[in-house]
Structure 1
Amino acid sequence: MTGLRYVYAVCRPFGAALQSQLTGVAGDPPRTLRHRGLVAVVSHVPEADFTEESLKERLEDLDWLAATARAHQQVIDALTAVTTPLPLRMATVFRDDSGVRVMMEEREGDFLRTLDRLDGRVEWGVKVYVEESAGQDGRGGREPAGKPASGREYLLRRRARTRAGEELWQRAEEFAGRLHGTLADRADDARLHAPQNPALSGATGRNVLNAAYLVRRDLSEEFVELVDRTKDDVPGIRVELTGPWAAYSFAGENPEEGAA
């Protein structure tokens, strides 16, 4: 099959087979391409969709972008089940197999060092949200029913809502700080990401903690149980756990580098 080579991840050689029905971007099954001590997981994609110019247009097509992201993630998830992948950015493409091998050779030292650091580890994501629901006073109680009898009562209610919201936000920040410290102590590494924009994420509530943790596979069950024990600690606060993922947040050689 002709076309460009789409690269999902780099990893060490592994013996387990990928799922037989697994398809990648543009419907092409992924395969491995070995070069010395590294393996790139690649598939063929049509050049018409992945040249620099066509990508600019394609990235404006939200349906195409979502489908490509899902296919990319499916391959990374399948790899995570059998080995420790170093995921590359979505839409990383090369002209042919030779271009992929040149890339692996040029970055071999960085790839091997990072794979050593990530070996046997996965990423867990933890988010904390403030759920300041309408009609709540911030402590789990209800506001007085009915319309205020006077302007003074209206102002008192409004002041109480503001004060309760500030207190809940402060409790949420303190809770998130304690939780992050506890989880970071149980992880090999941790990253604090910027709070999510609810308009983009679709999540309800205000995000006060958006963190990723690098955890050994054999300690993941203990890590999950630790998060679960905190979920009902503070009324009005929601804790969400996601994973296990490939270690996207820790794939860079330097802590600030992020994904490869």
Structure 2
Amino acid sequence: MTPGLGVWLYAVTSSRDGVADLNELTGVAGEPVRTVVSDDLTAVVGSVPLEVFGEQPLRGHLEDLDWLAATARTHDAVVSTVVRRGPALPLRLATVFSDDDRVRELLDERRAEFGAALALVSGRTEWGVKAYGDRAALTAAVAEARAANEGGDRAALTAAVAEARAANEGGATGAGTAYLARRRAQLSAQETVERDAAARAAEIHTRLVRHAAAGRLQALTDPALSGRRDWMVLNGTYLVDDDRIDDFTATVTMLGSEFPGIRLELTGPWPPYSFAGVEREPA
């Protein structure tokens, strides 16, 4: 390895399947993408300047959102190309090793784990499902369901729904006892909606997993990072058999209509980042 260069990892695949010519691919530093082979495993890598992609410079660059977005797009473009050519495991962004020998050590040390993960993702792709809640609609749906279960009075239900909507929308406030009563009702409604939304999100995830080879719950996206003010209640990733994609997407559509007040958003297909299964700190 030329002094001043490190090795950026993009993906790991099976040597048995072979990796098609990668000469046309360029990586995050504009470098030609190449391979490092260790027996039955192949790492797709690129040689990158450490003055830009070394540990210390990377810390600064990763705080530059424009730089980070451009680098992530390039990394994902390489990964997506490799995945389209056969089963492959994407490596997380900014996995940099000192030289090819360190990459081979990774392949040797984690051979069994890489092999199991490759078997898991073979013939499958990753899909994302996000669920967003409408507080007023959820309050109305919960109230209606409870009234139906309890045989409640329809007039009382209508009044309760109207009051809940007014509370969620920050309706007019009065003074004294009336205001305090409305405030208590508002806080109670908010607490109930949070709990019920979580229960619905859990049910949706459970049912989606039944139609997938694997599923994982991801952290809910911070609105400050996503730029969206929607109330996210579910952020799930699912590994779906390629021949069952129609069944999975139909299930998402059905669940979207089955749970009033919750909107489902399906994205994909993606490289199986959530199911690569092997992580290690670079060296």
Once the two structures are superposed, the pairs formed by residues 55-74 of structure 1 within 5 Å of their partners are 55-74=58-77
Aligned partners of 2:8 and 2:47 also within 8 Å:
yes
Partner of 2:153: none
Aligned to 1:182: 207
In structure 2, the residue matched to 1:76 is 79
Q: Percent identity?
A: 44
Partner of 1:26: 29
Query: Which consecutive residues of structure 1, in runs of 5 or more, have no partner in the other structure?
Result: none
1:166-196 CA-to-partner distances (Å, cap 9, x unmatched) read 4433432232122112111122222223333
2:128 — aligned with what?
Answer: 125
- The SS at the match of 1:231 is helix
Indicate whether 1:238 and 2:263 are aligned.
yes
User: SS of 1:26's equivalent?
Assistant: coil
Structure 2: which 5+ runs fail to align?
Answer: 142-161
1:222 is the counterpart of 2:224: no
Mapped partners of 1:224, 1:258: distance in 2: 33
Separation in 2 of the partners of 1:137 and 1:53?
47
Per the TM alignment, residue 129 of structure 1 is displaced from its structure 2 partner at its CA by: 2.2
259 and 178 in structure 1: CA distance in 2 versus 1, 3 angstrom threshold = farther
Q: Taking structure 2 as the reference length, what is the TM-score of the superposition?
A: 0.74
Which structure's residues are more often helix, by fraction?
A: 2
Offset, 1:38: 1.5
Tell me the matched-pair count: 255
Helix, strand or coil for the counterpart of 1:112? helix
Give 1 or 2 for the bigger CA radius of gyration. 2
Query: Counterpart amino acid of 1:75?
Result: V
Query: Which residue does 2:140 correspond to in 1?
Result: 139
Please give the alpha-carbon distance, in whole angstroms, between the structure 2 residues aligned to 1:239 and 1:115: 29
SS at match of 2:29: helix
* RMSD (Å), alpha carbons: 3.4
Q: Which residue of 1 aligns with 2:221?
A: 196
Matched with 2:6 is 4
Q: Distance in 1 between matches of 2:173 and 2:51?
A: 68
Contact 2:138 2:260 in 1 (8 A): no
Secondary structure of 1:232's match? Answer: helix
In structure 1, the residue matched to 2:198 is 173
Per the normalisation by structure 1, the TM-score is 0.80
Match of 2:150 in 1: none
**Per-residue deviation at 1:87?**
1.6
In 1: Cα distance, 2:280 partner to 2:96 partner: 19
Secondary structure of 2:240's aligned partner: strand
Q: Which letter maps to 2:12?
A: V
CA 1:163–1:258 in structure 2 vs 1: closer, same or farther (change >3 Å)? farther
Residues of 1 paired with 2:67 and 2:54: CA distance? 15
Instruction: Report Cα offsets for 1:58-103 as digits up to 9, x if no partner.
Output: 3333332222222111222222222221122222223343443343
Are the structure 2 counterparts of residues 15 and 149 from structure 1 closer, same or farther at C-alpha, using a change threshold of 3 Å?
A: closer
171-180 or 152-161, larger mean C-alpha shift: 152-161
